[in-house]
A and B are shown apart, each in its own frame.
Chain A
Amino acid sequence: MSHPRKLPALGATLLALLAPAVAPAQVITIKTLPLAQGDQFGFFPSANDAMGGVSIAVRDSLLDPFVNPAKGARIRALQFFGSPTFYRISRNAGGGQTLPVGGLATHGNLFGGALVAVQSLDPSRSDPQTFAPPGIDFIVAPQVGAFPVPQQTRSKTNRYAFATLGRRVANGFSIAGSVMYADLHRLEGVDQLYAGSQSIAQRGGDLDARLGVLRDWESGASVEAMLVHDRVAMTHDVTFAETFYDPNLRTMASRPRPERNLDRTNTWGLHLAWQRPVGDSGWRIGAFATTNLMSHPKLPNYQIVDVVRPVPWDPGHSAAYNVGFGIAQHRGPSTFALDVIYEPILSHTWGEAPAAIETLAGLVIPAGAKTTESHFTFSNAIARVGFAQDLLIDGVESPLHLQGGVSAHAIRYWLRQDDHVQVTSRRQDEHWVEWAPTWGASMRVAGVDLRYVGRVVHGTGRPGIANDQVAVPIFDSSAPSILATPTGPLTLTPVSVTTHQLSVSVPLP
């Protein structure tokens, strides 16, 4: 693992709808590369995260209201919490720390909550990172100068605000809505996506709105439905170091070349879930189904030297689905849970001709028509398994609650790419597995719930370029969407993402 792994070229539109937007779950992640995403958005408090993230057949008293606001109906008491979260990507590829604080409350039939978070993200690369064109060999040797550029070695701050409000209607029905807005100045890894750039200034936001309905039965069964709308709007002002010929000095020199990229993805999602106990056996079962319809009106022109070339004006759309089944058993102090999810996804992305362009076959593609098209067909699977065990310790009133688990995300897709300009078509099949062991412990001390969760994500990497002269980290992203066209071999340097979260929850009577 210490040597870079050579990856076959994708040669396809690289689509990575990474990180489950800002709020957790129900916005399906699409990836075409095993990219290390960091854990920028993994700061919500959770009771089950340490169990491999199982969620289908077990309830999560901390996380559930953030996933489906209607589940806030289960709040029985005022509760304050804070969950400082730290993650680090190996090989100095970045990291971040987040301090969320919030509270959940109920009054009569109303319930609600709020959360604010401040996040500091470290840069995932060192500065500057310039690629000088190799092979320039003038009879009169030029000089390559440099120009001062803004350094981006400093951390950037993101801010998050979440609010939810709901009402218990009758007969166990509840309805609630939530809104979350992220004021973003850095998305993990985006500064790896513009090869040759000197600096990237990011700004924008992610708005996530949810409307949920929940029906709880006294038997412990429940049915829920939720509508999700998520809008990502980021602007990347990228400054490249461009080598140019200075005719006044008759030398090669560098100058800044600014480029603005827009990242726009809109998602509509519908999520249905069901859960119930199996008699008095201690077993619970659950199932869910999710549909995401995504449009990508504008995606960034990511550039990876000799590997990913931008396809300007590249829009697209995706339809992502998942269905899952879970079981859990509570037996005394022990809990076991298992989730199995199948995730079919269809994505179609294309490049549009800004002006009429002649194909190699001599035909003319009119302005606005498609120049290249990529059709992805995904068949992903997710398995999560977790356990929990309460340990009674002599002299301590509250048991020590230990958790462990692992999740595996198998990604497989088939690609058909048509280049209407070069009149070529090709197919490609890619697959890999990402897995993450998790662990944690919690304990109530003096009426305060203390919780620790740790996880390490393996199977992802940070692409770089290996040529004779330059080996540069390129890719490490959890940007909401990425669309670019790899054209050569990617070199993936394996990295792992380690996250530690401490949460303090103070239930008030």
Chain B
Amino acid sequence: MIQRQCTWLAAGLLGISLLSGCGSTMTERGTTQPPPPATLDDQLRGQFNIWGVVPIGAVTPPNAALVDLGRSLFFDKILSGNRDVACATCHSPLSHGADVLALSIGTGASGDGSSRTLGAGRQFTPRNAPSLINTGLGSFYLFWDGRVSDLGGPSSFRTPAGAALPSGLTSVLAAQAMFPVTNRNEMRGEVGDHDGLGNSNELAAFDSTQFGAIWGAVMQRLVAINGYVAKLNAAFPGVPVSSLGFQHAANAIAAFEKTAFTFTNSPFDRYVAHDDQAMTTEAKQGALLFFTKARCSSCHFGPLLGGQSFASAGVPQLGPGVGKDAPLDLGQDPQFQGQTQRFLFRVPSLRNVELTAPYMHDGAFATLDAVVRHYNNVEQTLRNYDVSQLDARFRSQYRGDAATIDAILAATSPVVRQPLGLSDSEIRQLVAFLQSLTDPAARDLSAMIPASVPSGLPVR
């Protein structure tokens, strides 16, 4: 009886066993197509992972009184020996924190912006004024040759002043702000100079190695002005003015620069923050080239797309040159960074680069298109440099002799020297990408210019 009842049971168990035995086959899964091509967005975000491109966090707002003091100092020509140059002269908000000149023009000049004219007996500064935009985002090196740096740790600032650098500086940007006032060509002037009112230039009397004395003299000018005393008291409450040094002023200037010149809401920023529609297709294509075929990200990597390293990019030589190597400018000084390679210059951040022409350390290229074409074939561009793209005043500053070009090419980084083979449309795409790095809010910075400064000197 039991045997008969179990007929179906046995059959069922047999069926299950057979099916179970087939399990490995039944669970196989098939496809007849290869994996799909990754979308542009997928490819781009993959490159972001490789090159450390991540969103940039908000900058902690500095003390408002400190920023207010810094704003006044930034626009006040009282900081210059001849009372004719302010920080804003070469880092004008009207020119997006830079000037529009290939090589900046320091003290003793006249005019502003593109109409600024070299004074009699003066010479151009050896390099282009770098834009201040986003320099407050934690740079590690400042100046084109990186002579001011902060690599972290105690006593971390490395500057030309060495041990003379006072303590109390709060950032590398503040450390950088200590030095233009010590530079004769930029702000301090020459012995025997007089300002427009006939006042003698007491700052120029010091030797260039007397950093402390120069800073002290600038500070004496500031504390003699009631407006600055009030602003210093507000910015540093409880600290006697008599104990304030120029490092305090530098901290204020840096606080202002950090507040006023930080712009991180470009289409690219929004794209990095997961808004796939923020960039145009052309800009995305350019971005992909940037990180791949064009090899731009070899140097311009990280959240700032640069600013953290040095490179020899085969840039044509312009200007009076620097130091013992003049009329050449060899860039990074080996005594500061221990580098032996020549023509190494700081790789700038490309954020808002569209707004900061001309480009490179000496303003050799007038447009982004020219920069991209340079990288497309560095040797060809260097040997056939089109000097006509320069303002007529700067054409004579070009050092295009064969020996100089050969020296530059010999030092050019291999990753840059190899031609890229970019087509015209790819160059347009790269330029479109570079334009997507522009924060619209950075296009017009005129509102940050104060009507007056405590010294009473003209702001413009």
Q: Does A385 contact B (CB under 8 A)?
A: yes
Question: Would you give 23 A-B contacts (Cβ < 8 Å), ordered by A?
Answer: A138-B301, A140-B140, A142-B52, A244-B303, A247-B136, A247-B137, A252-B54, A306-B42, A309-B39, A309-B41, A334-B9, A336-B8, A360-B285, A386-B12, A388-B8, A389-B9, A405-B12, A419-B39, A421-B281, A432-B28, A433-B27, A434-B27, A458-B26
Determine if B5 and A250 form an interchain contact, defined as CB atoms under 8 angstroms apart. no
Bound Cα distance from A246 to B29, whole angstroms: 46
Provide the bound-state CA to CA distance between A331 and B11, in Å: 14
Assess whether B8 is in contact with A437, with CB atoms less than 8 Å apart: no
Q: For residues 127 through 174 of chain B, which have their beta carbon under 8 Å from a beta carbon of chain A? A: 136-138, 140, 151-152
- Give the top 10 A-B pairs by smallest Cβ distance, nearest first: A11-B36, A9-B35, A250-B138, A432-B29, A387-B12, A136-B52, A245-B303, A8-B31, A459-B27, A334-B8
Question: Scoring B residues 41 to 63 as 1 if CB is less than 8 Å from chain A, else 0, what string do you get?
Answer: 11001101111101111011000
Contact A140 B42 (CB under 8 A): no
Against B, the Cβ 8 Å flags (1 = close, 0 = not) of A2-14 are 0001011101100
Q: A9-B36, A250-B138, A459-B26 are in contact. Are A359 and B281 (CB under 8 A)?
A: yes
Main secondary structure of the interface of A (DSSP, over half): strand
Q: Which of A69-77, A83-91, A349-357 contacts B (4 or more CB under 8 A)?
A: A349-357
Residue of B nearest to A427 (CB): B33
Whether A138 lies near B136 (C-beta < 8 A) is no
**A385 vs B11: C-alpha distance in the bound complex, in angstroms?**
11
In angstroms, Cα B304 to Cα A5, docked, is 40
- Which residues of the partner chain A approach B48 to less than 8 Å between Cβ atoms? 133
A432 pairs with B56, CB closer than 8 A: no
In the complex, chain A residues whose CB is within 8 Å of the CB of B282: 358
How far, in angstroms, from A391 to B2 measured CA to CA in the complex?
7
A90 to chain B, nearest CB (A): 13
Over the window 1-42 of chain B, the binary record of Cβ atoms lying under 8 Å from chain A Cβ atoms (1 yes, 0 no) is 110011111011101100110011011111111111111111
Known: A245-B56, A247-B57, A433-B26. A387 touches B11 (CB 8 A): yes
The answer, yes or no, to whether A112 is at the interface (CB within 8 Å) is no
A428 is an interface residue with CB less than 8 A from chain B: yes
Most chain B CB within a 10 A radius of its CB, from A138, A332, A419, A494: A138
- Since A243-B54, A406-B19 are in contact, a sample of 19 more A-B pairs with Cβ atoms closer than 8 Å, ordered by chain A residue number, is A1-B24, A136-B302, A139-B309, A140-B140, A244-B57, A244-B303, A245-B302, A246-B138, A247-B59, A249-B138, A250-B152, A252-B52, A309-B45, A312-B276, A335-B8, A422-B39, A428-B33, A428-B36, A430-B31
Chain B residues contacting A312 (CB-CB under 8 Å) are 276
Number of interface residues of A (CB under 8 A): 82
Query: In the docked arrangement, what's the CA distance between A406 and B33, Å?
Result: 31
Q: Does A487 contact B (CB under 8 A)?
A: yes
Q: Least Cβ distance of A142 to chain B in Å?
A: 8
List of A residues within 8 angstroms of B26 by Cβ: 408, 433, 435, 458-459
Chain A interface residues (CB < 8 Å from chain B):
1, 5, 7-9, 11-12, 34, 133-140, 142, 242-250, 252-253, 255, 257, 306, 309, 312, 331-336, 353-355, 357-360, 385-392, 402, 404-406, 408, 417, 419, 421-422, 424, 426-435, 437, 458-459, 487-489, 492, 494
Bound complex: CA of A312 vs CA of B12, how far in Å?
A: 49
B183 — which chain A residues lie within 8 A by C-beta? none
Q: Check B12 against A244 for contact (C-beta < 8 Å).
A: no
CA–CA, A312 and B308, complex, Å: 35
Max chain A Cβ within 10 angstroms of own Cβ: one of B42, B55, B57: B57
- Dominant SS at the B interface? loop
By beta carbon, the residue of chain B nearest A259 is: B274
Q: Which A residues lie within 8 Å of B262 (CB)?
A: 247
**In the complex, per-residue mask of B64-108: 1 if CB is within 8 Å of any chain A CB, else 0:** 000000000000000000000000000000000000000000000
Nearest CB of chain A from residue B126's CB, rounded to whole Å: 25
Q: Which of A7, A388, A419 sits near B29, CB closer than 8 Å?
A: A7
Q: In chain B between 283 and 314, which residues have their CB closer than 8 angstroms to a CB of chain A?
A: 285, 301-304, 308-309
Contact B35 A244 (CB under 8 A): no
How close is A10's CB to chain B, nearest CB, in angstroms? 8
Interchain CA distance A392-B2 in the complex, whole Å: 8
Q: Does B55 lie within 8 Å of A244, measured CB to CB?
A: yes
Contacts of A459 in B (CB 8 A): 23, 26-27
Nearest CB on B from A353, distance (A): 7
B441 to chain A, nearest CB (A): 17
Contact B49 A140 (CB under 8 A): no
